[in-house]
Structure 1
Amino acid sequence: MTILVTAASGQLGRLVVDALLARGAAPADIVATARDTSKLEHLAARGIRTAELDYARPETIAPALDGVDTVLLVSASEPGNRVALHRNVIDAAKAAGVSKLVYTSAPQATTADFVLAPDHKATEEAIAASGIPAVIVRNNWYTENYAADVARAASTGVIAASVADGRVASATRVDFAEGAAVVLLEDGHLGEVYEFGGDVAWSYDELAAAAAEVVGRDVTYTPLTTDEHVAALESFGLDAGTAGFVAGIDTGIRGGVLAETDGTLSRLIGRPTTPLIDGLRSVAEASAVASV
């Protein structure tokens, strides 16, 4: 079995490659791809085949898929423009006769009233229409998404958001990468739609308490209305559209879109997901190293 990982130079993709190797995949059976292959040189040095694959340039996709039977399609990072990019990969995978396609989707993508859902819903529908045997892994929030909040709390003592009492079942990218590696390597997952999330759904009061422990000072959660949140984001320099989009994520959290936690991810990876406090410590340590 040859497994191709898209966006392998990215924050999630590179961890999936690490997880595949840790779970026994041979380097020669992995194809790591990226738009810029110079960012994959460390993987090539480990015996992993590397290839250019740019979602926006279909002419790069077919050659990368040569001899590949399993593909991880890591969702593109351009909200509103994802679907066309994903379809390029889906079409090429179908033409190549790929026997398993794993896609990293969003929580409750086909049913949630969530600003991030439409692109993922359309992609899931395109995968189904293609007929490629597939596994959908709907990743909940990455704990790493709170890096800026923790850094800001270190100086302000405040985490402000418009989530009200919404809860988030976050996990770390390492957790989600391991989940992807499991479904890529194992038989028996085809046709499944997995809601991947952390074992604990925490509140923003609990986020503030965890951040306080990490940064070594009191931190409180300040609830905002959506209008207050948008105004604050615009004061930081975001345009109105972007501010509304970001606040819309909090609206989804307030509505419970990230609160689901059924233990699927920890069951598949064979261990508990990383606790919030440990994930935030790693975030803070990484930020400290990056600032040196």
Structure 2
Amino acid sequence: MKIKKVLNNNVVVTMNEQGQEMVVMGKGLAFQKKVGESVDISRIEKNFVLQDTGISEKLNQLLQSTSDKYLDIVSEIYDYAVSQLPYKLHDYLYVALTDHISFAIERSKEGIQLKNTLLYEIRKYYKQEFQIGLKALDMIETHTGVRLDEDEAASIALHLINSQLSGENVETAVQVTEIVNNILNIVKYHYKTELDEDSINYERFLTHLRFFSIRFIRNEHTEETIDEFFYEQVKVKYETAYACTEKIAMYLQKNFDWQLTHDEKVYLTVHIHRVTYRQHKQK
């Protein structure tokens, strides 16, 4: 195992047997070592494979001003998140979380606390990611003795959500969360009711809205698959739900210049009908 790049005295980049870049960590692992020299395997404490070869350079830049102990913490959080989430995480999460956590701890020690304005929405709509964020706070406290508040758990959750989307820009996750939240509010106001957040239909609707929003953020266009006759049938059969969909379409058109297709309107209408039907019928 040869050293490809020295990030600091404790962290190097090497290659595994499959030809993938791998970050290897261990106390004094790279002390007085140079590129091309062998890694002392007995000193290795942790390692992780990078699918994106450009990430190691970003880690290199980050570790010039940040302790590698935060990278060690993030590696533990990453492994735990992978074991809990149904989707893959982007390698950039190592960089984003290391940077975020090191800065959050620095701010905490200085008595500066920043509120996450999306704490309520993240806790509500991204329960799994938020729980991982809370677990991450435990890991951070174990390694550093610093206990961060729930706002930071929400921020960590946002990084996880964004890792599914694009890998680098957390603003993407914020935008998806805001779109989902606003659409749900439109549904609630249209039906003048709260939604049963424990129901399977609500979870299905929430999942649909997330991927629906992600496609918009990624500018992914879908071909029309629903014929005009079926579209007109849905409008008539689910008249109230379709009227709600039209309000959502107006919101998206006005705020994002997003023109909904017939397919998108049909799927939204069906989901809205499902998530509201039982409560609306009882009223």
Fold conserved between structures, TM > 0.5? no
- Normalized per residue, the structure richer in strand is 1
Higher Cα Rg, which structure: 2
Higher relative contact order (CA 8 A, sep 6+): 1
TM-score bracket, shorter-length normalisation: under 0.3
Return the TM-score normalized by structure 1: 0.26
What is the TM-score with the length of structure 2 in the denominator? 0.27
Larger helix proportion, structure 1 or 2? 2
